[in-house]
Amino acid sequence: MDVFSAAVAEDRSLIFTFAPEPTVEPGFPQAVKTLVENSGGEMIFIALTVSAQEQMQRIANSSRAEFGKLRSPELLSELKEAFTASMAAMPPADIVIDTDQTSPAEAAAEILARL
């Protein structure tokens, strides 16, 4: 929360990413939004979506290892319900990008164009 406060105090833009999951307090996104807006800043939520099929295809990609990301299809299946509930608790997104159809470079360009 200190990072968000400092960014607003210095009138600096900040990109913060996270994946909603059960260890994140359900009220965290709204708490950050309230802090930022009460300090005179603006918060824009961007959701990157992926279909269950595509996610299952990507899960074992070796590139995920270098970032310590989940790589087990079995564990993903076990956690799917909890991840879905966590995502449903998120505030509505201002921008939604389907990553099944959009490359990372295209997604970045779309976000930049819309901001």
pLDDT, tens digit (0-9, with 9 covering 90-100), for 40-50: 889 999 999 99
Amino acid identity of 84?
Answer: T
Give the sign of the dihedral formed by CA 40, CA 27, CA 58, CA 100: negative
Is residue 12 over pLDDT 90? yes
Is residue 74 over pLDDT 90? yes
Gap between the Cα atoms of 111 and 106, Å rounded: 9
Tokens 């505030």 identify what position? 91
HSE of 33 in the Cβ direction (CA atoms, 13 Å)? 13
Give the three-class secondary structure for 39. coil
Average pLDDT, the chain: 91
Residue among 98, 62, 59 nearest 77 (CA): 59
Is residue 3 over pLDDT 90? yes
Is residue 51 over pLDDT 90? yes
Per-residue pLDDT averaged across 21-37, rounded?
A: 91
What are the residue boundaries of the structural domains of the chain, listed by start?
2-114
